Chains A and B, each alone.
Chain A
Amino acid sequence: MRDGQHISQEDLALYALQTLSQDESAAVREHLSECDECQAELASLRGDLAMVALSVDQKPLPAGARDRFIQKIAGEVLPASTAAKFTEPISIDRSTRRSHAGWSGWLAAAAILIVAAGLGFQVSQLRARLLEMNNRITTLEAGKSHAEQVAELLTAPSAQRVLLSAPKTRPAPSGHLVYLPLHGELILQADNLAPVPAGKTYELWVIPADGSAPIPAGLFRPDAAGNGSVVLPSIPSGVSAKAFGVTMEDAAGSKTPTAPILLAGAVPASGE
């Protein structure tokens, strides 16, 4: 398994895939605990595996999945049922304790022990909860004090207010796009674009909603003021888009976009 001083890449890949036997995994873990180099390679392999996972076609969530999750985290924050359990009184019937003897006495003693054990458990839970609440109160008080300090500073009449901005900062690039899927018609007006190096160009992409490959939607170069536009490029009609993006490509354009995306915008859910 060892490749000289290190775990071989083959075995590290299998370890990342969690497909080694228990013994083999234990040996790798032991080596990893002492080897930064193999840890780094394992992290890279997991990064590769994340990309393999990304190759899976996206499927819609089951109906109601989001609501179920939101309800679950809301319930976790306010455990009303748990609170009720903590405050519920425990009744003890004293009359039965006096009227039985012999085995019934032992049974009653056993029952009391069980109740006592239960009470002990509840007490320990209550203590843990009390500790947690105390910690939260401390945190909230610290936050409140900080917030009050901030509020005083912001509202103080004697406070000096100064606007700071970076000198000669270039405004952030942005683009406004209008798209009519039915006719395959599109206009993009982009502003504040960075100059394009020689041999390069900006390229606009339509990202189809059905998950198919991005469609090239025109090349453009900004003018000296950083303004650029694409007007009625030749693109197929009837394509439902989920997003648009702009990348920088070689001057002749590209059939597939090259990361990073320089400008991006998602189509609103309403399609407007």
Chain B
Amino acid sequence: MTLAPESPSMPDQSNNPVPPGSRTQNERAISAGMHKSEVGSDKSLMDRVRVREQQAMSEIFDRYARMVYSVALRVLNDSGHAEDVMQEIFFQLWRSPESFSSSRGSLGAWLLVVARNRAIDQLRQRRSAEPVDEVVLASNTNLQSEAERSIIMQKVQGIIGNLPNEQQQSLQLAFFEGLSHSEIAEKTGQPLGTVKTRIRSALTSLRKRLEA
């Protein structure tokens, strides 16, 4: 097994003067082969998806489908519905790759937020509260590699596990059950303002400790 640095600084285009959109079938096939062995960056994969390369889309699916499915399953607690949400998200990305651009954040983080929002929409049986192309997020977290994801996941679980119980509870109810602050207040018997503060404090703590 070979270990290599992650996130090459100029993936894909460093040794090919032809932009992906102008490559011939053969060049795309070679490029696809290179990516099999070199692991394409999210950006280069999305560039190839924009020129309708199914191979690139399947690589994105392989990279993030488990993550997206797991979030949907956590919210919906039903494997069939969770798969529906996952399939819809990736199919929408395939049909409208412009709905994501790197200016909207990292692809992995963006998919996580979209997966959670879509699953909550389904749970509440409501129309989508927000089009995916309006979901903009600031995240420099690199989720492209399995190893990086595992390490960050462990770290996040540790941070959330160490939050005060009441903050954990409010965050979980809002994020995974989609309860409004008034519903959480009713469920926990706490004042509305307290619930709001707890959710905000939980997110602030998470951000600070991840940045530390």
Please give the residue numbers on chain A whose beta carbons come within 8 Å of chain B beta carbons, in ascending order. Answer: 9-11, 13-14, 17-21, 25, 39-40, 42-62, 65-66, 68-70, 72-74, 76-77, 142-143, 146-147, 150, 172-179, 188, 190, 205, 207, 211, 213-214, 242-246, 256-257, 259-268
User: Which 5 interchain pairs have the tightest Cβ spacing?
Assistant: A46-B137, A175-B3, A47-B139, A50-B109, A53-B112
Contact assessment for B74 and A265 in the assembled complex, using a CB-CB cutoff below 8 Å: no
Which residue of A18, A74, A207 is within 8 Å of B130 (Cβ)?
A18
List the B residue with the shortest CB-CB distance to A20.
B180
Which residue of B54, B65, B135, B145 is within 8 Å of A61 (Cβ)?
B65
- Please indicate the chain A residues that have their CB under 8 angstroms from the CB of B108 in the complex: 50
Q: Hey, what's the 0/1 contact readout for B172-212 against A, CB within 8 Å counting as 1?
A: 00110011110000000000000011011001101100100
CB distance from A109 to the nearest CB of B (A): 40
A123 to B138 alpha-carbon distance, docked (Å): 45
- Please indicate the chain A residues that have their CB under 8 angstroms from the CB of B125 in the complex: none
Known: A44-B138, A54-B112. A10 touches B206 (CB 8 A): no
Given contact pairs A57-B70, A70-B61, A143-B22, enumerate 17 new A-B contacts (beta carbons under 8 Å): A10-B200, A14-B181, A18-B117, A18-B130, A47-B109, A51-B109, A53-B115, A58-B70, A69-B58, A73-B58, A77-B52, A143-B21, A174-B3, A243-B147, A262-B5, A264-B6, A266-B145
Contact assessment for A40 and B138 in the assembled complex, using a CB-CB cutoff below 8 Å: yes
Interface residues of B in 120-162 (CB under 8 A from A): 120, 129-130, 135-139, 141-143, 145-158, 160
Contact assessment for B105 and A179 in the assembled complex, using a CB-CB cutoff below 8 Å: no
Contact assessment for B203 and A146 in the assembled complex, using a CB-CB cutoff below 8 Å: no
Which residue of A13, A46, A176, A243 is within 8 Å of B146 (Cβ)?
A243
CB distance from A2 to the nearest CB of B (A): 14
Contact assessment for A47 and B105 in the assembled complex, using a CB-CB cutoff below 8 Å: yes
A50 to B46 alpha-carbon distance, docked (Å): 20
Please give the residue numbers on chain B whose beta carbons come within 8 Å of chain A beta carbons, in ascending order. Answer: 1-6, 17-18, 21-24, 27, 52, 54, 57-58, 61-62, 65-67, 69-71, 73-74, 79-80, 83, 86-87, 90-91, 94-95, 105, 108-110, 112-113, 115-117, 120, 129-130, 135-139, 141-143, 145-158, 160, 171, 174-175, 178-181, 196-197, 199-200, 203-204, 206-207, 210
- Please indicate the chain A residues that have their CB under 8 angstroms from the CB of B171 in the complex: 52
List the A residue with the shortest CB-CB distance to B68.
A53
Which residue of A19, A51, A57, A205 is within 8 Å of B181 (Cβ)?
A19
Which residue of B2, B139, B154 is within 8 Å of A175 (Cβ)?
B2
List the B residue with the shortest CB-CB distance to A136.
B52
Contact assessment for A65 and B65 in the assembled complex, using a CB-CB cutoff below 8 Å: yes
- Please indicate the chain A residues that have their CB under 8 angstroms from the CB of B152 in the complex: 51, 54, 259
Q: Which of B79, B151, B179 has the most CB of A within 10 A?
A: B151
Main secondary structure of the interface of A (DSSP, over half): mixed
- Please indicate the chain B residues that have their CB under 8 angstroms from the CB of A268 in the complex: 1
Which residue of B4, B153, B178 is within 8 Å of A263 (Cβ)?
B4
- Please indicate the chain A residues that have their CB under 8 angstroms from the CB of B74 in the complex: 56
- Please indicate the chain B residues that have their CB under 8 angstroms from the CB of A59 in the complex: 66, 69-70, 73
List the A residue with the shortest CB-CB distance to B153.
A54
- Please indicate the chain A residues that have their CB under 8 angstroms from the CB of B80 in the complex: 62
CB distance from B178 to the nearest CB of A (A): 7
- Please indicate the chain A residues that have their CB under 8 angstroms from the CB of B21 in the complex: 143
List the B residue with the shortest CB-CB distance to A192.
B5
A268 to B156 alpha-carbon distance, docked (Å): 26
- Please indicate the chain B residues that have their CB under 8 angstroms from the CB of A51 in the complex: 109, 139, 141, 152, 156, 206-207, 210
Which residue of B115, B136, B147, B180 is within 8 Å of A21 (Cβ)?
B180
| Pairs A–B under 8 Å by Cβ, sample size 6 | A10-B196, A20-B180, A54-B143, A55-B156, A256-B158, A264-B145
List the A residue with the shortest CB-CB distance to B109.
A50
Contact assessment for B151 and A207 in the assembled complex, using a CB-CB cutoff below 8 Å: yes
